[in-house]
Structure 1
Amino acid sequence: MDGAKSEEEWPRCVGCGRRVKTLFVQYSPGNIRLMKCDDCKAVADPYIECEFMIILIDLILHKTRAYRHLLFNKLRIYSSLDKGILVLSILMHMVLDAFRISFSRGNKADGDSSISTISGIFNCGKVMGVALLGNIIFMDVLLLEVQIILKLSFETIRYREVLLAVIISSYFKLFLMAMMVWEFPLSVIFIVEIFVLSSNIVALRVVTEFSKARCFGVCFGAYAAKYLTECWLLGTP
């Protein structure tokens, strides 16, 4: 039982996705040798020696090798050490969604400059509530679809992997913070959301090893449910 558990916590080969015992052997500080995968015979994780910007570029290009490195070998989403990362990621995800909603509503009410403090607090609370409920619906629908469509066992560790992979792969939402400095048209929000959706599909495919079409159906359904919830709460078409 202990042997099976330790094997489940092994890192992954970024090429084929198989588990490997170790990614490198360190002979001295700064002197390491990258190990090869027993299945594909290639270096298990060449990203270990890469700069962060190279990894980020490959993530933006949606390379599955970069996502396997980030999710399995860097963050180790299969272990019990990811609980703090999961909570922090969910909070950040909700804050960025609240900012997106606020920015969309603010552009429609530019002429309303005499908003009272109480009204401002009320609007802020409403936006946060909408973002919170929208993300609850998003996560519930996502996990339900994973269980039904992808037919995965609904174990705690398993759905935590899926949820963390999808939220971590939504990193492009951070670019919305640039709107605090520069003015962008509303179409930028749509472009960012499309990019986040495509990134979520790649991450979900890496974790579940299912087809791209089925992963697209899961992510699109969850986003559609969140969008409809936000429109209903905000009273927008």
Structure 2
Amino acid sequence: MEYRCVQCGFRIKTLFVQYSPGNIRLMKCVNCKAVADEYIECELMIVLIDLILHKPKAYRHVLFNVLNHERTHFQGLLWKSLVGFLVLDAYRSLLVKKPEEEWGTSMSISSIFWIYRKMLMDVFLGNYMFLCSFLFAIRSLLKTSAQFSRFRDLLLAVLISSYFKILLTAMMVWEFPPAVIYIIDLFVLSSNTVALKGQIISTLQFFT
């Protein structure tokens, strides 16, 4: 089983040694000589705060040492994350189109059906183009067609780091200006950048 140091991304065999229940010793990274993963002893709230603050080591902890595909049902996690991502993206598209369309009780069923069909087409087509561009860019960067599982790891990093989309659900309760949607998009983009940066560096270390 492969773990990563949250400080430098170096591969290590184990994160801690347990002497007795509740008595553990955190291992140090042989590369940077720092504690490999101090988040093991931290509460979940601290991890969430560091994720919001875009700390790379928090993303390494979650993506490598928590969501390790050898310890969890990786395929199921990937599909669940993809479905959640698409649902939130569809809701975002609905919020964007809502001010543009004339919503009301006078709308016919065919008009509502057309709006929702157009919204779903935009979501699926847009994400399909994004996925194709993403895989092409990663393949060009890595200069290899092997290790497809690494592409799945990078895709999972994008899906998990898009958690800021959950903030869109607050617009079901409170009225926010449309500009808030684009602010959330910026947070999602910055979170994706931090997560992918750590993943790509670790993937390049894997191939070297």
Q: Distance in 1 between matches of 2:182 and 2:91?
A: 14
Report deviation, 1:28: 2.6
Alignment of 1:85-104 (within 5 A): 85-104=77-96
Report deviation, 1:152: 4.8
Q: Are residues 1:37 and 2:67 paired?
A: no
Q: Distance in 1 between matches of 2:60 and 2:89?
A: 26
Matched with 1:166 is: 158
Q: Distance in 2 between matches of 1:75 and 1:132?
A: 26
Matched with 2:206 is: none
Q: Which moved more, 1:39-48 or 1:106-115?
A: 106-115
Pick closer, same or farther for the CA change 1:184–1:77 going to 2, 3 Å: farther
TM-score by length of 1: 0.79
Partner secondary structure for residue 4 of structure 2: coil
Unaligned runs of 5+ in 2: 203-208
Q: Give the letter for the 2:184 counterpart.
A: V
Matched with 2:200 is: 208
Matched with 2:14 is: 22
Q: Distance in 2 between matches of 1:160 and 1:80?
A: 14
Q: For 1:148, which of 130, 140, 154 is the aligned residue?
A: 140
Q: Distance in 1 between matches of 2:195 and 2:152?
A: 13
Identity over aligned residues, as a percent? 52
RMSD in angstroms over aligned alpha carbons? 2.0
Report deviation, 1:29: 2.5
Unaligned runs of 5+ in 1: 1-8, 211-237
Q: Distance in 1 between matches of 2:44 and 2:98?
A: 35
Matched with 2:66 is: 74
Partner secondary structure for residue 184 of structure 1: coil
Report deviation, 1:153: 4.0
TM-score by length of 2: 0.89
Alignment of 1:222-233 (within 5 A): none
Q: Are residues 1:176 and 2:185 paired?
A: no
Partner secondary structure for residue 131 of structure 1: helix
Q: Give the letter for the 2:14 counterpart.
A: T
Matched with 1:235 is: none
Higher relative contact order (CA 8 A, sep 6+): 2
Q: Are residues 1:49 and 2:46 paired?
A: no
Report deviation, 1:27: 2.4
Question: CA-to-partner distance for each residue in 1:74-120, whole Å, 9 max, x for gaps?
Answer: 10157783111111111111111110110111122355442233432
Contact 1:72 1:78 in 2 (8 A): no
Q: Give the letter for the 1:67 counterpart.
A: Y
Q: For 1:185, which of 174, 177, 189 is the aligned residue?
A: 177
Partner secondary structure for residue 11 of structure 2: coil
